[in-house]
Structure 1
Amino acid sequence: MINTILFDLDGTLLPIDPDTFMHHYFKVLSERCAHLVDPKKLPKMILDSTELMVCSTDPDKTNQEVFMADFSKKVEPVFQELLPVLDKFYEEEFQNLKFTSQPIEIVREIVNILKEKGYTLVVATNPLFPRLAILHRIQWTGLEVEDFSFITDYENMHFCKPNLDFYNEILQKINRSPAECMMIGNDVQEDLIAANLGMKTFLIEDNIINRENKEPAPDYRGSYRDLLDFVMYLPNLKQE
């Protein structure tokens, strides 16, 4: 029986234009670091190290460790000086990128219904960013960090989507079986792959990402309104 709901973040809990977000993210970050790293080169450095992190299959290294090991080599002369600059950026400036998102009330309705019915809620976002950046984005939705029992980030995870071990690691951390979980997301390749472990899946079609243009086969699919109707009919676990 399903008792746990995993949510993707960008494009699911938080409608956002990824291209607009990334453009402004790199613009502001590059300006902040310009006294140490060529602003024209920094985005590619970060993207290359991120790609290495996405491809990592090392269970003994967190995503942060994989990223930093590679990124530090690219900026080696100024790496130690750069770290506090990056920390300050995420603490003080990242939150100003909220304008790139379009939070909607119906998401908060969906989450509140699930909370009231006693479901365990997880933010299963691709853990490419530091925890602080992910917490900011959760807050942009109008939700509270405390609404969720577990939140993935690049400090606490060792794998990225679409690696199935990303989902296996979540299951291990929250002590759940696949049969107890449903993954809700808008990315056909990264989110629906959870079905390969035995999870139920719900595809949000409002902001669908389908890189391979293959016909998706989720257990459920539809708009945010359809998802709201769906969770309203889920059993109340507090009455079981």
Structure 2
Amino acid sequence: MYIFVDYDGTLIKNPESEFFERYFFLLSKFSGIDLSEISRKVMKAVEETAKDTDNGKNLFEKFLEKISDNGDRKYWENLFMEFYKREFSKLKDIITKNDFLVELIKNTDKEVIFASNPLFPKIAVNERIRFVDLSPKRFCYIAHMENSHFVKPDPRFFKEIVEKLSINPADCVMIGDTENDIACEKIGIKFVHVDNEKEIYNIFVKGD
């Protein structure tokens, strides 16, 4: 069995809004760009990236194209990479991890897939995993901007993963908390809400 796991609202109890509020505060401070301006610019680029169906480019390439003006792509790439190296770890202070789910992942022999929406590059995604005291090595696959071409709720996000791993959707389950995650059902992956702890326990321990 392959277990897909979401992050915001699932592996961590924080809603996305709380996480991104702190994220943009730190990014604004680091970049020297006004908070409202940097948040507007990044979110606009993210929205345009999500709508871009060109699967010849990964999400990070698309994002850098969308956010760049007047050939300043390298500036933005360097800014984000330095931010993730130097400041991003401060976000751990606000994280409330889902201890129940984290402990199941630590102790299971099942294959676990990190299936949060790939809105961060690999360097940041690995750090987010460490925020909940897990190792990136614990996952058999981690979705991030560099290896993804679609974002949830586009079912092609899930389709891309199962095709890369050559696995059957019928052998998979997705644990999440929003409509974004329920989109997995469109390709035949079972969805289980994170609040259904009894069923989640059975999945990890009994393989039901």
Does the alignment reach a TM-score above 0.5?
Answer: yes
State whether residues 14 and 140 of structure 1, in contact with CA within 8 Å, keep that contact through their aligned partners in structure 2: no
Residues 54 and 159, structure 1, Cα contact 8 Å, conserved in 2: yes
Distance 1:141 1:38 in 2: 30
User: Who is 1:108 aligned against?
Assistant: 102
The 1:85/1:230 distance shift into structure 2, 3 A limit, reads closer
* Aligned AA (2:90): N
User: Do structure 1's residue 171 and structure 2's residue 162 form an aligned pair?
Assistant: yes
Structure 2 counterpart of 1:201: 191
Is 2:122 aligned against 1:135? no
SS in 2 for 1:125: coil
Give the drift of 1:109: 2.2
Among 71, 79, 91, the alignment partner of 1:97 is 91
Q: Whole-Å Cα distance in 2 between the matches of residues 64 and 82 of structure 1?
A: 11
Structure 1 residue corresponding to 2:22, chosen from 14, 21, 24: 24
Output the CA distance in 1 between the equivalents of 2:27 and 2:184. Answer: 33
1:159 deviates by 0.4
Check the 8 A contact 1:62/1:155 in 2, yes or no.
Answer: yes
Aligned length: 208
Greater CA drift, 80-89 or 193-202:
80-89
Which residue is equivalent to 1:215? none
Do 2:172 and 2:190's aligned partners in 1 also have CA atoms closer than 8 Å? yes
Q: Which amino acid aligns with 2:93?
A: F
Q: Could you tell me which amino acid in structure 1 is paired with residue 192 of structure 2?
A: F
> Counterparts of 1:41 and 1:18 in 2: how far apart (Å)?
19
Question: Pick from 32, 36, 49: which aligns with 1:40?
Answer: 36
C-alpha distance after superposition, 1:37-88 (max 9, x if no partner): 4443111010000001112221111111111111012xx3754334323211
SS in 1 for 2:36: coil
Greater radius of gyration (CA) = 1
| Equivalent in the alignment of 1:232 | 205
Tell me which residue corresponds to 1:147. 138
Q: How many angstroms apart in 1 are the aligned matches of 2:41 and 2:49?
A: 12
**1:217 match:** none
Indicate the SS of the match to 2:173.
strand
Partner letter of residue 136 of structure 1? Answer: E
Out of 6, 11, 14, which is 2:12 matched to? 14
State the 1:96 CA deviation: 0.5
Instruction: Tell me the secondary structure at the aligned position of residue 5 of structure 1.
Output: strand
CA RMSD of aligned residues (A): 1.8
Is the 1:14–1:138 Cα contact (8 Å) retained in structure 2? no
1:158 maps to: 149
1:63 to 39, 54, 59: 59
Structure 1 unaligned blocks of 5 or more: 206-221, 236-240
Residue 44 of structure 2 aligns with an amino acid whose one-letter code is D
Q: Which amino acid aligns with 2:98?
A: I
- Look up the match of 2:77: 83
Residue aligned with 1:155, SS: helix
SS in 1 for 2:193: strand
| TM-score between the two structures when normalised by the length of structure 1 | 0.80
More helix as a share of residues: 2
